[in-house]
Each structure stands twice: as C-alpha cells, then as structure tokens.
C-alpha cells in the first residue's frame, strides 16, 4: 500500500513529484523518495518519515521524475528500503506499489549472476531485471516489457532510465492512472496527486503498459497498442484540500450532508431509479468486504433481510477467498471505498469463478473493481483523504438503503415514507454537527482511558462495531464492539471503573433489553455513554453521559449514530495528540492481500 507518481513535461520535476506525493501520503507515510533525470544521470533522494520538501536535497532541475511514499511490506522503514530503487549502476530507477510474490527466487537468481542488492525490498528486483535485459541487447522500453514476463504478484510501477527521455509504467492488480496535461504527462496511484495540474485522466487496466514521452503517450496490452477513454475527473483540487479544517477527517465528517444529498440524487428522484435486473432469480445475497465496508455490509444484511426477505450472509473478503462452493444463484456484493482493496477484488473474482453474479459498491470511478464486477454502483462522496473512512461509509449506507428499498416487499406508500426520511438525513446530520462542542467534551473524557467497549443490539450492533473501529484506529484506545447480549459471556470480566462503555440505544424492539444491559454494565461500575433518540427520556436515568440524536426512522439510525461516533473518535484522538489523518501502521487503500 504505497503511493507512486511519475512526471514528464516542462516543469521542475522534483517539485511536481513532491507536491503529488503529499496528496498521496494517506497511502503510505513511513518513508518517501524521488528520482530525477538530469543530464543523463539519475539523482535519487529518499528519507524515512513524513514527506518534506525538495529543499532537503541538492537542487536538481530535470523535467522527468518519479516519486514514492511507502507503507512497508518488505523490510522495515529505513533510508535504504525507501523507494526509488535502482540497478547496480544507477542507470535505472523504479517506484512500485504492490507485492512481487516471487521476488526471493528472482533475487537469488540475479545475485548468482552478479547483481548486488542494497535493500530488503521485493521492488529492487525490478530495476535489476530491467538492467539484465538491457545488457542482453534490448532497449529500455522492451526491457521493461520483458521484465513483466518474470514478475508474479501485484504491481503498479514506473521506471526511469538515465539514457532516454521517457517513462514506462505498468499496472497489474494495483491502481494506476494516467494524467494528461498540456505538453506534460503524469502517472499516479490516485487522482488527487495530479488534480493540481490536470483533470483529464485515463484509468489504466490490468496488464496495461504506458510509455510516456514529452510529446505523447502510448498504451500497450499483450504486445498490442490499445486505446483507453480519456475521462474528466468531477472533483476540484479544492475538494482534496482541508478547506480550513484542522484535519481532513473533520472536514470529511462535515461534508457528510452533501454526500448524502449527492448520492441520493444519483439514484432517487420522485422514485428510485435503479435497474434491479441483476437480482432476477437469485436465491441469496453474500456481502464481501473489509474493515469499515464490512460493517456497512452488516447493516446491508439487516436491511435486505428485513425489507426484502432474501437470505443474506456477510463474509470478510480475506476469508471468502478460501470459499469452494457453487454460487450459481447467488448475488455477491463487494463493497470497497477505493475500488482497489485486494482482498475484495480477489473475492469477487472467486465468486465469478463459482458462478455468482457480482455487484460492486465503490467511490472511485475507473478503479480496478469496475473492471471486475458485473454491475457497479457508485457512491458520490468525492475524494476522501483521511485514512479512516467517514463520509464514504455513510455514502455506502445510502446506496444500501436504495438497493434494499428498490427490492422491498413494502407497499409503495411505505417505501415513499422511508424515502422521505432519507431525504431529511442531511438536515439531521447538520443538527448533529451543531452539537459538536457537546460531543467534544464527552470525547475528551473518554480520551483519558486506555480500554473501551461499544455495545448495541440489532442494527445497533454493527453501529457499535464501526464506532469501536473508529476509536481504535485514530486514538489508539483499545476499543471493542459487542452485541450487548454477549457481554455476560466473557467480556463482563473486563468491566470496571477504567473501562467505559458506549451504548447504541435504538427505539425499536431491542430498546427495553438494551436498558437492561446498560443496568448490568453500571452494576460493574463502568462509566456509560448512551446514544439515544432525542425524544427518549428513559435511558439518561441510567448512564453517565447521554447524546441525544435527532429522531429519524429507526432503520436510518446507522447514519446519524455513526456521525456521532466519528466525532467522538476524532475528538478523543485530538485530545490525545494523535496523528489523526494518518494513523500509525495503516494505509487508505489496502492493495495487498
């Protein structure tokens, strides 16, 4: 999970690379580096830690560069393991995202041939292979293409030669886009890297190799030149900036009302405009997802089973990949914010292999999942920079509501009633944002603890799971989500004055039982924070803090409650002085299995 960039044009290439990398730092931030071609030499600069600026380096005024921001997979974060990596003579430089699964075998073979390696990384075999094939008589471009025949695993990489004014970039199971400017070209892992310079992009396909010169680009696949559509990115560079907020996470939480409106506009006018022909004849639905998207899937399961009476199961994509049963009447839905989550992509391929129809829900136009799934539904959240998913999670929920309501067995009037409530959600979320100072004060109390629990029943359970995930990933407080009824089967042993509990209390059939569970928790002396409906006057009698959430249809409470929990996590992390947008060890787009 790394970010890569390449540039060829007329600008100072080192500055372009660093600027682009800063917009990709959510993809990796344990080390970084750039390489610039200047006067038939390649100057390589790399460092451990967060991205700095070119003033750290000897100035280099070349106009061709590559850059990389790293999230370590092979070898600890260090200057020597940072990218770019070069061949023996420093004539070839490469930046790479992905994993070369056969690198050890390749490395041993190259070492026997006399190649000397400097790093622990899998990436370093790539420039050495290119060097080998150049020495055998191939030119740079064809040496790269020959190298591809020997690589196994996943990769998006950009190669730079000291002897040629061109870049060669290749993609297989890792994200890579081509940016088209005026007399300049870019390649990058994600769109925000290049929005400062152009909004014209080509979304490269698996197996594509793109050759960039100062005057043109050419894309090849299977040895043949191919054409790919140039698309206009519907985001502005300002949308990828903080806009006056202290952190991207807070900005993105505040963008949630608009995200709900934009995603609804995509699928709902006076009625739901969604062709559900892809569901004809299905016997069941299987969700495959990871992390936050897995929690969205749990909510999707609840909605589809309740409204549509279709059996649903939810599986971690990484575990579904060991599935070996026929799925000829199943609809497999993969949810992936980035469209590049390796486990989810592989799960969808696996599902197709066993005969399933596949649907993907993603936020990124042209991402890898859009070339795998049979049907694509887009969330309209815009770019999300913070590693922790906030507005994209809510957008996923909105799409799941649309699907569930479109397939619903409810009467037209009942569906319209829920749709009307859906359209009011932006207003409800704005009311929650108006409560921000109150939520912050509670969060600052929670920031003093090292362990927490989140509990809920029914729809409240996946809300609790997602709330706990947000808290642990950005504040580093150990937080776990449980069905409230499960506490007595072990977790009660952990309760006490130093273990606060956040309770998601819904005004549905679980309400009275949840109040009983809260009383059980209080009997073990744990502080309790309850999220409940603004009209509920009962729950506050039994808890230490209550956050009253604007009333809505109980089916929609995952949206409103989740925004509260995102703010709780944000302000707890802020109080603890954590690096909120780039939590340690994590990356935004998990492109390795």
Instruction: Give the single-character DSSP code of 191.
Output: G
Tell me if the bond preceding 84 is cis, omega within 30° of 0. yes
CB of 174 within 8 A of CB of 156?
yes
CA distances from 23 to 9, 52, 379 (A): 20, 12, 21
Structure tokens at 405: 């309501």
Four-point Cα dihedral 544, 581, 593, 299, nearest 10: 40
Positions of E strands within 295-450? 312-316, 330-336, 357-362, 375-378
The DSSP line for 89-149 is TS-EEEEEEEEETTHHHHHHHHHHTT----SS-STTHHHHHHHHHHHTT--HHHHHHHHHT
Query: Which helix (DSSP H) or strand (DSSP E) does residue 467 occupy?
Result: helix 460-475
Instruction: Give the single-character DSSP code of 322.
Output: T
CB of 32 within 8 A of CB of 69?
yes
Q: Which of 508, 528, 510 is nearest to 518 (CA)?
A: 528
Is position 588 annotated as part of the catalytic site? yes
The three state secondary structure string of 514-570 is HHHHHHHHHCCCCCEEEEEECCCCCHHHHCCEEEEECCCCHHHHHHHHHHHHHHHHH
d(CA 114, CA 126): 15
Give the orientation angle of helix 460-475 with respect to helix 557-575, to 10 degrees.
20
Residues 166, 391, 470, 588: which is the catalytic one? 588
- For tokens 């991402």, name the residue: 367
Q: Dihedral sign, CA of 235, 238, 243, 247?
A: positive
d(CA 416, CA 560): 20
Buried residues in 477-509 as b, exposed as e (16+ CB within 10 A) = bebbbbbbeebeeebeeebeeebbbbbbbbbee
Is position 2 annotated as part of the catalytic site? yes
- For tokens 């009209």, name the residue: 535
Q: Which residues pair with 180 in a beta bridge?
A: 185
Residues 2, 60, 386, 578: which is the catalytic one? 2
CB of 187 within 8 A of CB of 179?
yes
Catalytic residues: 2, 588
């Amino acid at each position: 999970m790394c970010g890569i960039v390449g540039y060829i044009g007329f600008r100072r290439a080192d500055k372009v690379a660093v600027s682009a990398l800063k917009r990709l730092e959510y993809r990796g931030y344990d080390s970084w580096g750039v390489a610039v071609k200047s006067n038939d030499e390649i100057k390589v600069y790399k460092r451990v830690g967060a991205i700095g600026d070119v003033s750290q380096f000897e100035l280099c005024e070349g106009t061709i560069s590559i850059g990389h921001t790293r999230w370590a997979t092979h070898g600890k974060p260090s200057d020597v393991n940072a990218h770019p990596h070069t061949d023996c003579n420093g004539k070839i430089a490469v930046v790479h995202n992905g994993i070369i699964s056969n690198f050890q075998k390749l490395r041993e073979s190259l070492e026997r041939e006399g190649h000397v390696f400097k790093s622990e990384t899998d990436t370093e075999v790539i420039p050495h292979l290119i060097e080998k094939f150049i020495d055998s008589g191939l030119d740079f471009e064809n040496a790269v293409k020959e190298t591809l025949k020997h690589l196994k695993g996943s990769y998006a990489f950009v190669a730079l030669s000291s002897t040629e004014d061109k870049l060669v970039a290749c993609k297989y199971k890792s994200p890579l886009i081509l940016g088209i400017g005026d007399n300049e070209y870019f390649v990058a892992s994600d769109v925000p890297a290049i929005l400062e310079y152009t909004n014209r992009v080509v979304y490269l396909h698996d197996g594509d190799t793109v050759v960039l010169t100062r005057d043109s680009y050419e894309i090849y696949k299977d040895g043949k030149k191919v054409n790919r559509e140039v698309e206009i990115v519907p985001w502005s560079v300002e949308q990828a900036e903080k806009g006056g907020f202290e952190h991207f996470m807070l900005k993105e939480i505040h963008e949630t009302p608009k995200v709900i409106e934009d995603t609804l506009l995509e699928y709902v006018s006076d009625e739901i405009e969604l062709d559900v022909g892809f569901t004809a004849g299905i016997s069941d639905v299987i969700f495959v997802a990871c992390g936050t998207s897995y929690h969205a899937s749990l909510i999707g399961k609840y909605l589809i089973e309740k409204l549509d009476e279709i059996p649903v199961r939810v599986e971690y994509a990484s575990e579904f990949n060991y599935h070996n049963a026929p799925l000829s009447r199943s609809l497999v839905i993969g949810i992936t914010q980035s469209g590049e989550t390796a486990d989810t992509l592989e799960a969808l391929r696996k599902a197709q292999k066993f005969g399933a129809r596949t649907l993907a829900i993603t936020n990124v136009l042209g991402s890898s999942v859009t070339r795998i799934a049979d049907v694509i539904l887009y969330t309209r959240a815009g770019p999300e920079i913070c590693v922790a998913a906030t507005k994209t999670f809510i957008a996923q929920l909105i799409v799941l509501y649309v699907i569930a309501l479109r397939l619903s067995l409810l009467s037209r009037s009942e569906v319209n009633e829920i749709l009307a409530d859906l359209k009011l959600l932006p207003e409800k979320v704005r009311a929650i944002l108006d409560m921000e100072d109150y939520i912050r004060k509670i969060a600052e109390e929670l920031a003093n603890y090292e362990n927490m629990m989140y509990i809920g029943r029914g729809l409240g359970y996946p809300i609790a799971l997602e709330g706990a995930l947000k808290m642990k990933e950005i504040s580093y407080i150990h937080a776990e989500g449980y069905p409230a009824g499960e506490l007595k089967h072990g977790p009660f042993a952990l309760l006490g004055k130093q273990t606060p509990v956040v309770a998601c209390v819904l005004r549905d059939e679980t309400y009275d039982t949840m109040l009983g569970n809260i009383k059980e928790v209080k009997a073990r002396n744990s502080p309790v924070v309850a999220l409940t409906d603004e009209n509920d006057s009962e729950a506050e009698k039994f808890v230490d803090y209550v956050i009253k959430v604007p009333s809505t249809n109980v089916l929609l409470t995952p949206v409103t409650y989740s925004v509260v929990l995102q703010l709780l996590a944000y302000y707890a992390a802020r109080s603890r002085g954590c690096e909120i947008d780039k939590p340690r060890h994590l990356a935004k787009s998990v492109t390795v299995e």
